[in-house]
Amino acid sequence: MPELLVILVVALVVLGPKRLPEVARALGKAMAEFRRQTADVMDEFQVQAMLDDETPKRPAKPAPAPSAAAPVPPGTPPAGSKSESGSS
């Protein structure tokens, strides 16, 4: 509190009683605008953080769908052919 009082007395001596209210008003407006802008930026960061957290986690590569051209392990009869143990 004493530091603020010293700053006000110095400002009054330097600026004078006529100009001090104008400077104080301009300073107050500048501080209000700064607070408003920083609040807007913080809100935007929070919205982006929430959106990033809500996105579902997707696997890097989806599982391949089975297809007719899938490789057949050796020793397995091809699909649609008669097995050797079947009746003739």
Q: 62 pLDDT exceeds 70? A: no
Confirm if 23 and 15 have CB atoms less than 8 A apart: yes
Spell out the SS3 assignment of 11-64. Answer: HHHHHCCCCHHHHHHHHHHHHHHHHHHHHHHHHHHHHHHHHHHHCCCCCCCCCC
CA–CA separation, 10 vs 16, rounded Å?
10
Q: How confident is the model at residue 77 (pLDDT cuts 50, 70, 90)?
A: low
19-61 pLDDT, tens digit each? 988 988 999 999 999 999 999 999 999 999 888 887 666 656 6
| All structural domains of the chain with their residue ranges | 21-55
Q: What is the pTM of this model?
A: 0.47
Instruction: Give the model's pLDDT for residue 11.
Output: 86
CA–CA separation, 38 vs 11, rounded Å?
27
pLDDT over 90 for what percent of the chain? Answer: 30
